Protein backbone atom coordinates (compact mmCIF):
# COMPACT_ATOMS: atom_id res chain seq x y z
CA UNK A 1 0.00 0.00 0.00
CA UNK A 2 1.37 3.40 -0.93
CA UNK A 3 1.15 6.28 1.55
CA UNK A 4 -1.26 8.11 -0.74
CA UNK A 5 -3.66 5.20 -1.13
CA UNK A 6 -3.98 4.63 2.63
CA UNK A 7 -4.73 8.29 3.31
CA UNK A 8 -7.39 8.44 0.59
CA UNK A 9 -9.13 5.32 1.89
CA UNK A 10 -9.28 6.77 5.42
CA UNK A 11 -10.76 10.06 4.22
CA UNK A 12 -13.49 8.35 2.18
CA UNK A 13 -14.47 6.01 5.03
CA UNK A 14 -14.58 8.82 7.59
CA UNK A 15 -16.69 10.94 5.26
CA UNK A 16 -19.35 8.32 4.69
CA UNK A 17 -19.42 7.56 8.43
CA UNK A 18 -20.15 11.24 9.13
CA UNK A 19 -23.03 11.25 6.63
CA UNK A 20 -24.46 8.02 8.06
CA UNK A 21 -24.30 9.32 11.64
CA UNK A 22 -25.90 12.67 10.79
CA UNK A 23 -28.64 11.05 8.70
CA UNK A 24 -29.29 8.31 11.26
CA UNK A 25 -28.74 5.46 8.82
CA UNK A 26 -26.08 2.86 8.09
CA UNK A 27 -23.10 3.50 5.83
CA UNK A 28 -24.51 0.86 3.45
CA UNK A 29 -27.72 2.88 3.14
CA UNK A 30 -25.72 6.04 2.45
CA UNK A 31 -23.82 4.22 -0.28
CA UNK A 32 -27.00 2.86 -1.89
CA UNK A 33 -28.78 6.21 -1.68
CA UNK A 34 -25.97 8.23 -3.24
CA UNK A 35 -25.44 5.69 -6.04
CA UNK A 36 -29.12 5.66 -6.94
CA UNK A 37 -29.58 1.98 -6.11
CA UNK A 38 -32.95 0.44 -5.14
CA UNK A 39 -34.17 -0.60 -1.67
CA UNK A 40 -33.91 2.96 -0.33
CA UNK A 41 -37.10 4.93 0.32
CA UNK A 42 -37.52 8.30 -1.37
CA UNK A 43 -37.63 10.01 2.03
CA UNK A 44 -34.39 8.38 3.20
CA UNK A 45 -32.66 9.08 -0.10
CA UNK A 46 -33.60 12.75 0.11
CA UNK A 47 -32.40 12.96 3.72
CA UNK A 48 -29.05 11.34 2.86
CA UNK A 49 -28.53 13.64 -0.14
CA UNK A 50 -29.29 16.73 1.96
CA UNK A 51 -26.85 15.68 4.70
CA UNK A 52 -24.16 14.85 2.13
CA UNK A 53 -24.53 18.31 0.61
CA UNK A 54 -24.39 20.00 4.01
CA UNK A 55 -21.21 18.12 4.92
CA UNK A 56 -19.66 18.60 1.49
CA UNK A 57 -19.31 14.86 1.06
CA UNK A 58 -18.76 13.59 -2.49
CA UNK A 59 -18.74 9.84 -3.02
CA UNK A 60 -15.60 8.45 -4.62
CA UNK A 61 -16.49 7.00 -8.04
CA UNK A 62 -13.59 4.55 -7.86
CA UNK A 63 -14.61 3.38 -4.40
CA UNK A 64 -18.20 2.91 -5.53
CA UNK A 65 -17.02 1.00 -8.57
CA UNK A 66 -14.84 -1.30 -6.48
CA UNK A 67 -17.66 -1.91 -4.02
CA UNK A 68 -20.29 -2.72 -6.64
CA UNK A 69 -18.14 -4.15 -9.42
CA UNK A 70 -19.90 -1.75 -11.79
CA UNK A 71 -18.68 1.47 -13.35
CA UNK A 72 -22.06 2.86 -14.47
CA UNK A 73 -20.34 3.70 -17.75
CA UNK A 74 -21.09 2.48 -21.26
CA UNK A 75 -18.41 2.47 -23.96
CA UNK A 76 -19.46 3.97 -27.31
CA UNK A 77 -17.37 2.90 -30.32
CA UNK A 78 -17.90 4.80 -33.57
CA UNK A 79 -15.98 5.82 -36.70
CA UNK A 80 -17.12 9.46 -36.63
CA UNK A 81 -18.85 12.00 -34.42
CA UNK A 82 -19.15 14.76 -37.05
CA UNK A 83 -21.49 12.97 -39.45
CA UNK A 84 -25.25 13.42 -39.10
CA UNK A 85 -26.26 9.82 -38.44
CA UNK A 86 -23.49 9.14 -35.95
CA UNK A 87 -23.87 12.38 -34.00
CA UNK A 88 -27.63 11.83 -33.70
CA UNK A 89 -27.27 8.24 -32.51
CA UNK A 90 -24.62 9.25 -29.96
CA UNK A 91 -26.73 12.17 -28.71
CA UNK A 92 -29.73 9.88 -28.29
CA UNK A 93 -27.66 7.26 -26.47
CA UNK A 94 -26.06 9.78 -24.11
CA UNK A 95 -29.42 11.32 -23.26
CA UNK A 96 -30.88 7.93 -22.38
CA UNK A 97 -27.80 6.93 -20.36
CA UNK A 98 -27.89 10.15 -18.34
CA UNK A 99 -31.54 9.53 -17.54
CA UNK A 100 -30.69 6.20 -15.90
CA UNK A 101 -27.54 7.45 -14.16
CA UNK A 102 -24.90 6.22 -16.60
CA UNK A 103 -22.00 7.99 -18.30
CA UNK A 104 -20.70 7.44 -21.83
CA UNK A 105 -17.06 6.78 -22.68
CA UNK A 106 -16.49 7.62 -26.35
CA UNK A 107 -13.88 6.03 -28.62
CA UNK A 108 -13.57 6.98 -32.31
CA UNK A 109 -12.02 4.87 -35.05
CA UNK A 110 -11.85 7.02 -38.17
CA UNK A 111 -12.50 5.21 -41.44
CA UNK A 112 -10.57 6.84 -44.27
CA UNK A 113 -9.78 5.84 -47.82
CA UNK A 114 -6.13 6.79 -47.46
CA UNK A 115 -5.22 4.53 -44.55
CA UNK A 116 -6.56 1.56 -42.59
CA UNK A 117 -8.32 2.39 -39.35
CA UNK A 118 -6.71 1.47 -36.05
CA UNK A 119 -7.84 -1.82 -34.54
CA UNK A 120 -10.17 -1.95 -31.55
CA UNK A 121 -8.13 -2.65 -28.40
CA UNK A 122 -10.36 -4.30 -25.76
CA UNK A 123 -7.79 -3.68 -23.01
CA UNK A 124 -8.72 0.02 -22.88
CA UNK A 125 -12.30 -1.00 -22.01
CA UNK A 126 -11.47 -3.71 -19.49
CA UNK A 127 -13.09 -2.93 -16.11
CA UNK A 128 -13.94 0.58 -17.32
CA UNK A 129 -17.39 -0.09 -18.79
CA UNK A 130 -20.51 -2.06 -17.93
CA UNK A 131 -21.49 -2.46 -21.57
CA UNK A 132 -20.45 -1.57 -25.11
CA UNK A 133 -22.48 0.10 -27.87
CA UNK A 134 -20.94 -0.05 -31.35
CA UNK A 135 -22.32 2.73 -33.57
CA UNK A 136 -21.88 2.18 -37.30
CA UNK A 137 -18.39 0.74 -36.94
CA UNK A 138 -17.65 -2.37 -39.06
CA UNK A 139 -15.67 -4.85 -36.97
CA UNK A 140 -13.71 -7.93 -37.95
CA UNK A 141 -14.62 -11.30 -36.46
CA UNK A 142 -11.53 -11.09 -34.25
CA UNK A 143 -12.53 -7.65 -32.93
CA UNK A 144 -16.06 -8.83 -32.13
CA UNK A 145 -14.66 -11.87 -30.32
CA UNK A 146 -12.27 -9.69 -28.28
CA UNK A 147 -15.16 -7.48 -27.15
CA UNK A 148 -17.30 -10.50 -26.29
CA UNK A 149 -14.42 -11.80 -24.15
CA UNK A 150 -14.78 -8.76 -21.86
CA UNK A 151 -17.94 -10.37 -20.50
CA UNK A 152 -20.16 -7.27 -20.70
CA UNK A 153 -23.28 -6.72 -22.83
CA UNK A 154 -22.47 -5.85 -26.45
CA UNK A 155 -24.96 -4.09 -28.75
CA UNK A 156 -24.83 -2.53 -32.20
CA UNK A 157 -26.52 0.42 -33.91
CA UNK A 158 -26.40 0.75 -37.69
CA UNK A 159 -24.31 -2.40 -38.08
CA UNK A 160 -24.22 -5.74 -36.34
CA UNK A 161 -24.93 -9.42 -36.61
CA UNK A 162 -27.91 -11.60 -35.87
CA UNK A 163 -26.45 -13.05 -32.66
CA UNK A 164 -26.20 -9.61 -30.99
CA UNK A 165 -28.72 -6.98 -29.98
CA UNK A 166 -28.85 -4.80 -33.08
CA UNK A 167 -30.84 -1.67 -33.91
CA UNK A 168 -30.62 -0.64 -37.54
CA UNK A 169 -32.36 0.19 -40.75
CA UNK A 170 -32.89 -2.63 -43.23
CA UNK A 171 -30.13 -1.27 -45.46
CA UNK A 172 -30.70 -3.71 -48.30
CA UNK A 173 -34.40 -2.91 -48.43
CA UNK A 174 -33.67 0.83 -48.26
CA UNK A 175 -31.29 0.58 -51.22
CA UNK A 176 -33.80 -1.42 -53.22
CA UNK A 177 -36.63 0.96 -52.30
CA UNK A 178 -34.62 4.04 -53.31
CA UNK A 179 -33.77 2.46 -56.65
CA UNK A 180 -37.36 1.37 -57.26
CA UNK A 181 -38.54 4.92 -56.57
CA UNK A 182 -36.26 6.31 -59.27
CA UNK A 183 -37.30 3.59 -61.71
CA UNK A 184 -40.97 4.40 -61.03
CA UNK A 185 -40.18 7.94 -62.16
CA UNK A 186 -39.04 6.62 -65.52
CA UNK A 187 -35.28 6.48 -64.89
CA UNK A 188 -33.15 3.61 -66.18
CA UNK A 189 -29.69 5.17 -66.09
CA UNK A 190 -29.20 5.39 -62.32
CA UNK A 191 -25.84 6.07 -60.70
CA UNK A 192 -24.91 5.21 -57.13
CA UNK A 193 -22.77 7.18 -54.66
CA UNK A 194 -21.75 4.71 -51.98
CA UNK A 195 -19.92 5.16 -48.69
CA UNK A 196 -16.46 3.95 -47.76
CA UNK A 197 -15.89 0.58 -49.46
CA UNK A 198 -16.00 -2.27 -47.00
CA UNK A 199 -15.48 -5.49 -48.91
CA UNK A 200 -14.25 -7.45 -45.88
CA UNK A 201 -17.37 -6.78 -43.82
CA UNK A 202 -20.25 -7.44 -46.21
CA UNK A 203 -22.83 -6.86 -43.45
CA UNK A 204 -22.07 -3.15 -43.24
CA UNK A 205 -24.56 -0.50 -44.50
CA UNK A 206 -22.62 0.56 -47.64
CA UNK A 207 -22.45 -3.03 -48.89
CA UNK A 208 -26.12 -3.76 -48.14
CA UNK A 209 -27.35 -0.54 -49.76
CA UNK A 210 -25.17 -1.24 -52.79
CA UNK A 211 -26.70 -4.72 -53.08
CA UNK A 212 -30.16 -3.17 -52.90
CA UNK A 213 -29.24 -0.83 -55.76
CA UNK A 214 -27.88 -3.68 -57.89
CA UNK A 215 -30.86 -5.97 -57.29
CA UNK A 216 -33.31 -3.09 -57.73
CA UNK A 217 -31.91 -2.40 -61.18
CA UNK A 218 -31.88 -6.05 -62.17
CA UNK A 219 -35.46 -6.51 -61.01
CA UNK A 220 -36.40 -3.91 -63.62
CA UNK A 221 -34.34 -5.60 -66.32
CA UNK A 222 -31.44 -3.13 -66.05
CA UNK A 223 -27.91 -4.48 -65.83
CA UNK A 224 -25.87 -2.16 -63.55
CA UNK A 225 -22.71 -0.74 -65.05
CA UNK A 226 -19.78 -0.90 -62.55
CA UNK A 227 -18.78 2.55 -63.81
CA UNK A 228 -22.04 3.99 -62.48
CA UNK A 229 -20.82 3.64 -58.90
CA UNK A 230 -18.44 6.00 -57.04
CA UNK A 231 -17.29 6.40 -53.43
CA UNK A 232 -18.49 9.56 -51.65
CA UNK A 233 -16.96 8.76 -48.23
CA UNK A 234 -20.21 9.51 -46.38
CA UNK A 235 -19.85 13.31 -46.39
CA UNK A 236 -21.00 16.31 -48.43
CA UNK A 237 -17.59 17.08 -49.90
CA UNK A 238 -17.06 13.48 -50.95
CA UNK A 239 -20.50 13.31 -52.50
CA UNK A 240 -19.86 16.48 -54.47
CA UNK A 241 -16.42 15.49 -55.77
CA UNK A 242 -17.42 11.93 -56.62
CA UNK A 243 -20.51 13.13 -58.49
CA UNK A 244 -18.39 15.36 -60.71
CA UNK A 245 -16.20 12.35 -61.50
CA UNK A 246 -19.25 10.18 -62.12
CA UNK A 247 -20.95 12.64 -64.47
CA UNK A 248 -17.70 13.37 -66.28
CA UNK A 249 -17.46 9.66 -67.09
CA UNK A 250 -21.18 9.02 -67.58
CA UNK A 251 -23.05 12.19 -68.54
CA UNK A 252 -25.95 10.02 -69.75
CA UNK A 253 -27.06 9.31 -66.15
CA UNK A 254 -30.45 10.82 -65.32
CA UNK A 255 -30.67 9.88 -61.63
CA UNK A 256 -28.39 9.16 -58.67
CA UNK A 257 -29.03 7.20 -55.49
CA UNK A 258 -26.70 8.22 -52.64
CA UNK A 259 -26.23 5.98 -49.60
CA UNK A 260 -26.59 8.91 -47.19
CA UNK A 261 -28.28 12.30 -47.19
CA UNK A 262 -24.98 14.11 -46.68
CA UNK A 263 -23.60 12.54 -49.84
CA UNK A 264 -26.91 13.25 -51.60
CA UNK A 265 -26.55 16.93 -50.70
CA UNK A 266 -23.11 16.79 -52.29
CA UNK A 267 -24.72 15.31 -55.41
CA UNK A 268 -27.16 18.23 -55.57
CA UNK A 269 -24.34 20.75 -55.15
CA UNK A 270 -22.38 19.09 -57.96
CA UNK A 271 -25.46 19.20 -60.19
CA UNK A 272 -25.83 22.91 -59.51
CA UNK A 273 -22.12 23.41 -60.26
CA UNK A 274 -22.78 21.94 -63.68
CA UNK A 275 -25.90 23.99 -64.36
CA UNK A 276 -28.21 21.01 -63.91
CA UNK A 277 -31.63 21.41 -62.34
CA UNK A 278 -32.69 18.91 -59.67
CA UNK A 279 -34.99 17.11 -60.30
CA UNK A 280 -35.69 18.23 -63.90
CA UNK A 281 -32.25 17.30 -65.26
CA UNK A 282 -31.09 14.93 -62.54
CA UNK A 283 -33.16 13.13 -59.90
CA UNK A 284 -31.50 12.49 -56.53
CA UNK A 285 -32.49 10.35 -53.55
CA UNK A 286 -30.65 9.69 -50.28
CA UNK A 287 -31.07 7.79 -47.02
CA UNK A 288 -31.33 9.30 -43.53
CA UNK A 289 -33.95 12.03 -43.11
CA UNK A 290 -31.31 14.71 -42.48
CA UNK A 291 -32.60 17.89 -40.82
CA UNK A 292 -31.30 20.05 -43.69
CA UNK A 293 -32.55 17.85 -46.52
CA UNK A 294 -35.73 19.85 -46.99
CA UNK A 295 -33.75 23.05 -47.56
CA UNK A 296 -32.18 21.61 -50.71
CA UNK A 297 -35.30 19.77 -51.86
CA UNK A 298 -33.86 16.33 -51.14
CA UNK A 299 -35.97 13.20 -51.54
CA UNK A 300 -34.93 10.71 -48.87
CA UNK A 301 -35.71 7.48 -47.07
CA UNK A 302 -35.88 8.50 -43.42
CA UNK A 303 -34.51 6.64 -40.44
CA UNK A 304 -34.81 7.73 -36.81
CA UNK A 305 -31.11 7.99 -35.94
CA UNK A 306 -31.63 9.54 -32.50
CA UNK A 307 -34.29 6.94 -31.72
CA UNK A 308 -31.85 4.15 -32.54
CA UNK A 309 -29.55 5.58 -29.88
CA UNK A 310 -32.40 5.63 -27.35
CA UNK A 311 -32.56 1.84 -27.13
CA UNK A 312 -31.43 1.05 -23.61
CA UNK A 313 -28.72 -1.61 -23.08
CA UNK A 314 -29.75 -4.52 -20.86
CA UNK A 315 -27.03 -3.63 -18.34
CA UNK A 316 -28.53 -0.20 -17.57
The CATH classification number of 171-304 equals 3.40.50.2300
pLDDT in tens, 254-284: 999 999 999 999 999 999 999 999 999 999 9
Taking CA atoms, 98 is separated from 26, 48, 92, 103, 180, in Å, by: 27, 21, 10, 6, 41
CATH 3.40.50.2300 given to domain 73-168: yes
Q: Above pLDDT 70, what percent of the chain?
A: 84
Mapped onto helix, strand or coil, the DSSP state of residue 151 is: coil
Kindly report the CATH class assigned to 16-68. mainly alpha
Boundaries of every domain in the chain = 16-68, 73-168, 171-304
Name beta bridge partners: 165: 155
pLDDT of residue 71: 76
pLDDT of residue 37: 75
pLDDT of residue 285: 97
Do 16-68 and 171-304 agree at the fold level?
no
pLDDT in tens, 10-64: 334 447 888 889 999 998 888 888 877 778 898 999 999 898 888 888 766 555 5
Using the CB atoms, write b or e for 114-146: b if 16+ within 10 Å: eeeeeebebeebeeebbbbbbbbbbbeeebbeb
CB 97 within 8 A of CB 72: no
Residues in the chain predicted with pLDDT less than 50, given as ranges, are 1-14, 199-200, 202, 309-316
Amino acid sequence: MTPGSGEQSSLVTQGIDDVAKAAGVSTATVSRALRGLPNVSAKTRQRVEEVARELGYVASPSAASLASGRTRTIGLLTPWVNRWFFSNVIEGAERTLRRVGYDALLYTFDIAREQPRRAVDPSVLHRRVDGILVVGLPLSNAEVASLEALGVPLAFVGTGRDNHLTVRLDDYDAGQCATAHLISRGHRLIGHVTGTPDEEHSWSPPAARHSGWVDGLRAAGIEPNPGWEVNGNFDVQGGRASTHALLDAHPELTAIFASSDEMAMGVILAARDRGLDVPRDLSVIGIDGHDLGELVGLTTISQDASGQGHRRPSCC
